[in-house]
A and B are shown apart, each in its own frame.
Chain A
């Protein structure tokens, strides 16, 4: 069965620090990859997605993620975080052709100190 692993459960950074959140998945076939964010008191929102093409994907609010097929990874990055980036981040995977079934990682809580 497919699974998604996020290695960092709780990350604390100071403003302007760089961010990288790890995401690995287990599935041998073609996948679609997503990062969702949930700001405090808000609902889940899509940050970015990868379906095909350029493995470096740019999303909203300065986030980007790189798909490395050989490593089954889709790490999220941001060069300089802001206090407003404090949120929970979820990596998710769906099997290509079955975008409906999203498999989520455990989530990473990011706390940015002003």
Chain B
């Protein structure tokens, strides 16, 4: 399995600011993903972070709000831009190696927007 770390583990932010979340995998992976888990709800896929190209966003999520970078095969960032209280969620990074056909998840970043 892959070990995934995220920074920060939690943060409290003011409305209108932006936060960048980092995701580091301990080995090269083919695919990386970002999910959101809103309070009391399930995980929802935000986007697939593509190495060397623009991320692929799911319906309801846009690049201006959630810009994503993936400069190499082990690292990705998600920025939550112009935050509002509705963005308060846990944001999770996951990674997949094609040969494993399963995703490994990071510990998540708990974001509270005031």
Contacts and interface: CB of A to CB of B under 8 A. Distances in A.
Interface residues of B, number: 21
A99 B43 contact: no
A102 B102 CA distance: 10
Interface string B43-83: 11100100000000010000000000000000000000000
Nearest to B32: A100
B41 A99 contact: no
B42 A44 contact: no
B45 A49 contact: no
Contact of A46 (B33, B45, B102): B102
Nearest to B31: A100
B107 to A, nearest CB: 4
Interface residues of A, number: 20
A101 interface: yes
B45 A101 contact: yes
Contacts of A46: 102-104
A72 B103 CA distance: 22
A43 B41 CA distance: 16
A2 to B, nearest CB: 11
A106 interface: yes
A107 B40 CA distance: 9
Contact of A49 (B43, B44, B101): B101
Contacts of A90: 42-43
Nearest to B40: A106
A83 interface: no
Contacts of A67: none
Interface of B: 4, 31, 33, 41-45, 48, 58, 92, 94, 96, 101-108
Interface of A: 32, 34, 36, 42-46, 49, 51, 90, 99-107
